Structure 1
Amino acid sequence: MRRNMNQEECKALLGQNYIGRLSYLSGGHPFIVPITFYYDPDTHSITSYSSEGHKIQEMRKNTAVCLGVDEIASIANWKSVLVQGTFEELSRIDAKHMLHEFSDGVKKVIATIYGEHP
């Protein structure tokens, strides 16, 4: 049965995953790349980490981004959420703090998925 997920189900799907696909624009063309992310349910924000490269350079120019996350059990049993947002680059102490939050968050999600305790 196909149906739209409600907002709480979408947040839960984000919180239970750490791999998604980031979409951004470059030269009027869409690009989609896999990323590791962490969804913070307290701030309703998504954090990821990337070194300098094409996507960072292009997101600095056009901050409109999109993140797609799927859970696919079978061809008839899947969930998908698409989040539109704005790229924000952090630096210095803010970046260091969020890198720690990102790392801890991803570890907790992985531990939950695989039945381990962080």
Structure 2
Amino acid sequence: MLGDLTTGQIEHLLQSEIVGRLGCHADDQTYIVPITYAYDGEFIYGHTREGRKIDMMRKNPKVCFLIDAITDMGNWRSVIAWGTFEELKSITDRETGMRILMDRTLPFLTGETTLAHAMRDTHIKDVAGLKGTVYRIRLTKKTGRFEKR
């Protein structure tokens, strides 16, 4: 059976995953890249080094975001969302963005709870010296589909 995900199912899938694909377009070129992310119900948060995707999003902040959960070819769920890139520049905004991102992703990087908290606290205290770009994407439209056998 093929179908559309409900709003609640879309939100649940966005909250459940930590890797998605970000699509951006600038200078007659489209670029799609996997990213690690955190979702807070309104924004996708990410951190990256300077490079092609940041350059493109600065030129054209309108982006597309895709996540999927695939059990097999007959059992999957997928969400496509559209939104607007925002670079977080102030220390407070960068700290907030990194805290949201690290709280969500660090448990998947280590099984040691105390190590995860120690790493998070170290990184958050040093956000002023953190290299790269902290950003968020305000999601403005979301759609989802599924197949279940």
In the TM superposition, what whole-angstrom CA distance separates every residue of 1:36-93 from its partner, at most 9, and x where no partner exists?
010113xx21101111111111100100001100100001000000010000000131
User: Aligned residue pairs: how many?
Assistant: 112
Deviation of 1:116 after TM superposition, in Å, equals: 8.8
1:40 alignment counterpart: 40
Counterpart code for 2:53: K
SS at match of 1:89: strand
Q: Give the CA deviation at 1:26.
A: 2.4
Q: Distance in 1 between matches of 2:112 and 2:73?
A: 28
Higher relative contact order (CA 8 A, sep 6+): 2
Match in the other structure for 2:71: 73
TM-score normalised by L of structure 1? 0.86
Tell me, what secondary structure is at the counterpart of 2:3?
Answer: coil
Secondary structure of the residue that 1:49 maps to in structure 2? strand
Match of residue 104 from structure 2:
105
> Hey, which of these two has a bigger chunk of strand by percent?
2
Percent identity (aligned): 37
Q: Distance in 2 between matches of 1:61 and 1:77?
A: 38
**Aligned-pair CA distance for 1:96:** 2.1
**Displacement, 1:29?**
2.1
Please list every run of 5 or more consecutive structure 2 residues that lacks an aligned counterpart in the other structure: 117-149
1:92 aligns with 2:98: no
- Specify every segment of 5 or more residues in structure 1 that has no aligned partner in the other structure, as ranges: none
RMSD over aligned CA atoms reads 1.9
Shift in alpha-carbon separation, 1:4–1:116, aligned structure 2, 3 A = farther
